[in-house]
Amino acid sequence: MRWKVGTLTRSEDRALPASISDVLSGSVPEGRKVRIRGWLSNRRSSGGVVFLIMRDGTGWLQCVARRDVLGDKKLDELEKLPIESVLELEGSVRADKRAPGGYELSIDRYRILSVAWPDYPIAKKYHGPDFLLEKRHLWIRSKKMWCILIVRSKLLKAARSWLDEHGYVEVQAPILTASACEGGATLFPVDYFGRKAYLTQSWQLYGEAFIASVGKCYTLAPSFRAEKSRTRRHLTEYWHLEVEIPFCDLKCLLKVIDEFITHICHELADKAAEELRTLGRDPADLARVEPPFPRLKYDEAVEMLQAEGVQIEWGEDLTWTCEKVLASEFDVPFFVTHFPKTAKAFYHKPDPERPEVTLSADLLAPEGYGEIIGGGERIDDYETLLARIREEGLDPADYEWYLDLRKYGSIQHSGFGLGVERMVMWVCKLDHIRDAIAFPRLVRRRSSWSTTMMPMAYALVRS
Ligand code: ATP
Ligand code: MN
């Protein structure tokens, strides 16, 4: 709410600037005159009344223009005004059960702030995904994308608030890096003044350096993966929320993830219920999430999969097909732990009781969504780490600084990385990861390269 109650101005008579969310929250007294500004996103007319569906970033509101109030000329003008034009409307608010959102604005006065061209390319009819990717800069105005962007924002807010309340320090590390973290095959090379650098795949190795300075810490940053597999859940640029925790073993890590994810789910069920419902997700699905999440060892997962007839040998990583099968058996997130060494990156700590498996854990989202978090204990012993780097055919010289961390005050530590779009995809019940982010970077045909790369191309033209 923006206005002050009980001031000595005569504001009662004047229309007060309000956002649509102010109106929809019921905080504007019935009959109160307000002024809103926004885009005309839809319109219909019936017998001397024009219904304008207005959008201002905070919500969507039905505004009603009546011929007997505004007169013929003005009503005709509103009837013809192109969709996406911008209006300032003054009127009084009233509760109306038939109106979407339960409130309606009766328009007394209006001012046109911007007249849109009459050929807005997105109509109410069905458009294919390629067309909507090409018109992404406009499609983000749709109710669906708006809901997703709002949920995404609330998700990140909930994540940050949990981390802040639990004493985690937010830090940043370079995006341009010299060495691989998750394996060379998915690296994006960049020419760095005649030498080769790479776009980061993960903040993790830096995170391990940070813990000896600031302790428990996290970052929220883009990670880049030149994924050749064109699945519905891989972007080439995605937002990665990574956490690193000193003095923490696998058991402690699972507990942190339990509580962290539960907090986010509960916050969304509470604070984004309307948006979730619009997207087809029942907020109760998220309210139901409670720690501890079910834990499944990799061995058990393989047995389950083989029993279902899925082709998998012990030692292989779980493909999406595998995860989908496993994730269909659960209706809450669950862990798969103790992956074999062969399925994980070099820094994962071998289980001292069974060195062929690692103290690792992935968190899988239910309903077939699959992995949203990857994490585990890191190797803290210098010799073990050096041996694993060599075993993977990596050059220890590239990891000199990382090895240093095992020389000077090395301790048991664990961490995890959450794929923000993977989590958004699950909570919003999306069928493709491209809609979990405003401007997705995908492995795509060249024909749509220029449009899916729109903001970047623009930056190049300007410079
Ligand atoms: P996957 O097997 O699904 O490709 P990964 O094992 O490569 O994932 P990690 O290296 O553990 O993933 O990265 C941590 C998290 O980052 C994953 O759990 C996932 O949520 C997210 N992630 C990884 N790759 C991508 C991608 N290409 N697009 C979007 N999110 C990703
Ligand atoms: Mn991957």
Alpha carbon dihedral 129, 133, 134, 136, in 10-degree steps, equals 130
CATH number of 133-460, picked from 3.90.1150.110, 3.30.750.24, 3.30.930.10, 3.40.50.800: 3.30.930.10
2-114 fold = OB fold (Dihydrolipoamide Acetyltransferase, E2P) (2.40.50)
DSSP element (H, E) containing 204: helix 204-214
Q: How many Å separate Cα 462 from the centre of its chain?
A: 29
More confident residue, 447 or 227: 227
Confidence label for 125 from pLDDT (cuts 50, 70 and 90):
confident
Given a cut of 60, whether residue 402 has pLDDT beyond it is: yes
Alpha carbon dihedral 352, 358, 360, 364, in 10-degree steps, equals -130
Instruction: Tell me which amino acid residue 19 is.
Output: S
- DSSP E strand boundaries for 69-158: 86-95, 103-114
Is the CB of 134 within 6 Å of ligand 1? no
Structure tokens at 458: 């623009």
The CA 221 to ligand 1 mean position distance, Å, reads 14
Confidence label for 230 from pLDDT (cuts 50, 70 and 90):
confident
268 HSE (CA, 13 A, CB side):
34
Give dist(CA 401, CA 281) in Å, integer.
45
Q: For atom 16 of ligand 1, which residue has the closest CA?
A: 419
Given a cut of 90, whether residue 11 has pLDDT beyond it is: no
How would you list the strands of the sheet with 176-177, edge to edge?
176-177, 195-199, 189-192
Residue 4, pLDDT score: 47
Q: What is the pTM of this model?
A: 0.93
Residue 231, pLDDT score: 87
Average pLDDT over residues 62-77: 96
Residue 457, pLDDT score: 45
Is the CB of 225 within 6 Å of ligand 1? yes
Which ligand is nearest to the Cα of residue 319, counting in written order?
1
Confidence label for 123 from pLDDT (cuts 50, 70 and 90):
confident
Residue 443, pLDDT score: 85
Q: Which residues pair with 354 in a beta bridge?
A: 351
Q: Where in the chain are all domains bearing CATH 3.30.930.10?
A: 133-460
Residue 351, pLDDT score: 98
Is the CB of 299 within 6 Å of ligand 1? no
Confidence label for 229 from pLDDT (cuts 50, 70 and 90):
confident
Q: How far apart are the first and last CA of the chain?
A: 41
The CA 234 to ligand 1 mean position distance, Å, reads 8
Structure tokens at 64: 């009603």
Average pLDDT over residues 47-59: 96
Q: Where in the chain are all domains bearing CATH 2.40.50.140?
A: 2-114
Dmax over CA atoms of the chain, in Å, equals 85
DSSP element (H, E) containing 195: strand 195-199
Give dist(CA 410, CA 226) in Å, integer.
32
Residue 7, pLDDT score: 46
Q: 83-87, 176-180, 418-422, 457-461 — which is least confidently predicted?
A: 457-461
Nearest CA to 420 out of 139, 157, 176, 181 is that of 157
Report, in angstroms and rounded to the nearest whole number, the Rg of the chain calculated over CA atoms: 26
Give dist(CA 384, CA 43) in Å, integer.
67
Average pLDDT over residues 268-293: 98
Residue 31, pLDDT score: 85
Give dist(CA 234, CA 226) in Å, integer.
10
Cβ–Cβ under 8 Å, residues 162 and 237: no
Confidence label for 246 from pLDDT (cuts 50, 70 and 90):
very high
Which atom of ligand 1 lies closest to the CA of 225? 27
Give dist(CA 224, CA 208) in Å, integer.
19
Instruction: Tell me which amino acid residue 392 is.
Output: E
Residue 13, pLDDT score: 61
Q: 85-89, 325-329, 343-347, 456-460 — which is least confidently predicted?
A: 456-460
The CA 185 to ligand 1 mean position distance, Å, reads 14
Which atom of ligand 1 lies closest to the CA of 371? 18
Q: For atom 13 of ligand 1, which residue has the closest CA?
A: 374
Confidence label for 459 from pLDDT (cuts 50, 70 and 90):
very low
Residue range 289-345, pLDDT digits in tens: 999 999 999 999 999 999 999 999 999 999 999 999 999 999 999 999 999 999 999
What is the chain's length?
Answer: 463
Give dist(CA 121, CA 135) in Å, integer.
8
Average pLDDT, the chain: 92
Residue range 186-224, pLDDT digits in tens: 899 999 999 999 999 999 999 999 999 999 999 999 999
Instruction: Tell me which amino acid residue 439 is.
Output: F
Structure tokens at 195: 């030498």
Count other Cβ atoms within 10 Å, centred on residue 224.
22
Is the CB of 366 within 6 Å of ligand 1? no
Is the CB of 374 within 6 Å of ligand 1? yes
Residue 452, pLDDT score: 52
Q: For atom 6 of ligand 1, which residue has the closest CA?
A: 374
Residue 179, pLDDT score: 72
Average pLDDT over residues 420-439: 97
3-state SS class at 259: helix
Locate tokens 């496993």: which residue? Answer: 326
